[in-house]
Amino acid sequence: MRRDSLFYQLFAQLPQTLFDLLGRDTPQGYRFESVELKQTAFRIDGVFVPPDPSGIVYFCEVQFQRDNTFYERFFAEIFLYLRLYRHTFSDWQAVVIYPHRQAEQVSFDPYEVLVNSHRLHRVYLNELGSLEALPLSLALMQLTVLPEAEMPTAARLLAERTRIEAVPRPEVIMELITTIVLYKFTKLSREEVLRMLGFTTEELKRTRFYQEVYAEAREDGLQQGLQQGLQQGLQQGLQQGLQQGLQQGLQQGLQQGLQQGLQQGLQQGLQQGEAAVVLRQLRRRFGSVPNDLEEGIRQLSPDQIEALAEALLDFTDLEAVFAWLNRSS
């Protein structure tokens, strides 16, 4: 699991998580950063920068593997930061997040005084408590260390808590839950994970995943359909123009034919673009689409295509799509 990236997202989206770990009210104005100290190529996982020089700067590190030189590196990074940016804060605190106590290094020499001081807070995720009782931000952290067998049930619990509790930015928490589960179940698609978590069709449509995929497919499909429609429309327009030109005058007939052809081409392009969106969504979910099914979808009216796009998220196989087409016809 790529936990560095995951915890970066968690702190960036929900900066109150650090203060939940410390059991403190979240102060206003803090800015989360990942800071590289270029003089020595050190990088601190997270720095919570106070809004003014009178505040406390918080250093945060996520350590999931035992490293018997970790504190040597961590305190070196901290004191280099203090030297470079001393004018931006009045005091400092540090937080190290472990999955469990066994991941911590064995010997603290020669940093034992700092390790056991009030400046350093060590957090062991498996000791935080039950998911039901923890704040959602800390429950998300604990979700990252659960065994694979327990994760689906726990993730559904957190998703349900997000739905019923009055939490700010629930869509961010839903997206983080999905991302954490994806890191554990690498062979599942994002849509399969969303289904596993019990997302309704409407909730699925509100996720960033659905909006990005649908927008991408819609754009590609519209471009492809518009191009095909314009080509067909222009060909039809030229043929109509030639026929009308023999009767009404070649120039006038060509002009009218081209206008009609462009109009028909635009209409056909939009219709084929919508159909391409639906077909692309079906291929993402079920693999290849039979030719007769594809042809049936391309023959639908714009209103029918729109209705099919709404319904396809509820389909579990291609037989359901065939049944829908039969009913619609």
Task: For residues 145 and 183, give the distance between their C-alpha atoms in angstroms, rounded to a whole number.
Answer: 11
pLDDT surpasses 90 at 318 = no
Task: For residues 236 and 253, give the distance between their C-alpha atoms in angstroms, rounded to a whole number.
Answer: 13
A 10 A CB-CB count for 115 gives 18
Cis peptide before 110 (omega within 30 of 0): yes
User: Looking at residue 204, what is its pLDDT?
Assistant: 57
Query: Are 28 and 109 in the same domain?
Result: yes
Of 44 and 242, the structure prediction assigns the larger pLDDT to 44
Contact between 128 and 141 under an 8 Å Cβ cutoff? The reply is yes
User: Looking at residue 82, what is its pLDDT?
Assistant: 92
Write out pLDDT tens, residues 227-283.
665 566 666 666 666 666 555 655 665 566 666 655 665 566 666 777 787 787 787
In the chain, the percentage of residues whose pLDDT exceeds 90 is 23
- Report the alpha-carbon angle 102-107-112, nearest 5: 115
Task: For residues 40 and 115, give the distance between their C-alpha atoms in angstroms, rounded to a whole number.
Answer: 23
Query: Are 246 and 189 in the same domain?
Result: no
Q: In what order do the strands lie in the sheet with 120-124?
A: 31-37, 42-49, 56-62, 91-98, 120-124
Task: For residues 207 and 195, give the distance between their C-alpha atoms in angstroms, rounded to a whole number.
Answer: 12
User: Looking at residue 1, what is its pLDDT?
Assistant: 43
**Single residue among 178, 203, 228 that ends a domain in this structure:** 203
pLDDT band, very low/low/confident/very high, at 70 (cuts 50, 70, 90): very high
pLDDT surpasses 80 at 190 = no
**Residue 135 backbone phi and psi in degrees, to 5:** -55, 150
pLDDT band, very low/low/confident/very high, at 53 (cuts 50, 70, 90): very high
Query: Are 195 and 292 in the same domain?
Result: no
User: Looking at residue 216, what is its pLDDT?
Assistant: 52
Structure pTM? 0.58
Number of domains in the chain: 2
User: Looking at residue 215, what is its pLDDT?
Assistant: 54
A 10 A CB-CB count for 141 gives 25
Contact between 293 and 314 under an 8 Å Cβ cutoff? The reply is no
Query: Are 27 and 124 in the same domain?
Result: yes
User: Looking at residue 218, what is its pLDDT?
Assistant: 55
Average pLDDT of the chain to the nearest whole number: 79
Of 107 and 324, the structure prediction assigns the larger pLDDT to 107
Q: Tell me which DSSP letter residue 327 carries.
A: H
In this prediction, residues 216-223 reach a mean pLDDT of 54
Contact between 72 and 82 under an 8 Å Cβ cutoff? The reply is no
Of 113 and 327, the structure prediction assigns the larger pLDDT to 113
Of 14-28, 175-189, 262-276, which gets the smallest average pLDDT? 262-276
User: Looking at residue 29, what is its pLDDT?
Assistant: 87
**Contacts with 153 (C-beta within 8 Å, 6 or more apart), sequence order:** none
In the chain, the percentage of residues whose pLDDT exceeds 70 is 73
**Which domain, by its residues, includes 164?**
3-203
Contact between 64 and 104 under an 8 Å Cβ cutoff? The reply is no
Q: What is the dihedral of CA 237, 238, 244, 246, to 10 degrees?
A: 180
Query: Are 48 and 109 in the same domain?
Result: yes
- Report the alpha-carbon angle 68-73-76, nearest 5: 145
Query: Are 177 and 308 in the same domain?
Result: no
Query: Are 29 and 135 in the same domain?
Result: yes
**Single residue among 172, 203, 234 that ends a domain in this structure:** 203
Query: Are 192 and 304 in the same domain?
Result: no
Query: Are 74 and 58 in the same domain?
Result: yes
User: Looking at residue 297, what is its pLDDT?
Assistant: 84
Query: Are 217 and 196 in the same domain?
Result: no
The alpha helices in the chain, defined as continuous H runs, are 3-13, 16-21, 70-85, 112-115, 136-143, 151-164, 170-184, 190-196, 201-206, 208-248, 250-286, 291-298, 302-311, 318-328
pLDDT surpasses 90 at 74 = yes
Task: For residues 61 and 8, give the distance between their C-alpha atoms in angstroms, rounded to a whole number.
Answer: 10
Q: Mapping DSSP to helix (H, G, I), strand (E, B) and coil, where does residue 287 land?
A: coil
In this prediction, residues 33-51 reach a mean pLDDT of 71
Task: For residues 123 and 25, give the distance between their C-alpha atoms in angstroms, rounded to a whole number.
Answer: 17
Q: Which residues pair with 37 in a beta bridge?
A: 42
User: Looking at residue 40, what is its pLDDT?
Assistant: 47
Tokens 């050190």 sit on residue: 42
pLDDT surpasses 60 at 214 = no
User: Looking at residue 125, what is its pLDDT?
Assistant: 92
**Single residue among 203, 223, 242 that ends a domain in this structure:** 203
User: Looking at residue 328, what is its pLDDT?
Assistant: 78
Of 51-65, 151-165, 250-264, 273-287, which gets the smallest average pLDDT? 250-264
Q: Tell me which DSSP letter residue 312 carries.
A: G
Query: Are 59 and 173 in the same domain?
Result: yes
User: Looking at residue 91, what is its pLDDT?
Assistant: 95
pLDDT surpasses 70 at 220 = no
Query: Are 266 and 123 in the same domain?
Result: no
User: Looking at residue 222, what is its pLDDT?
Assistant: 53
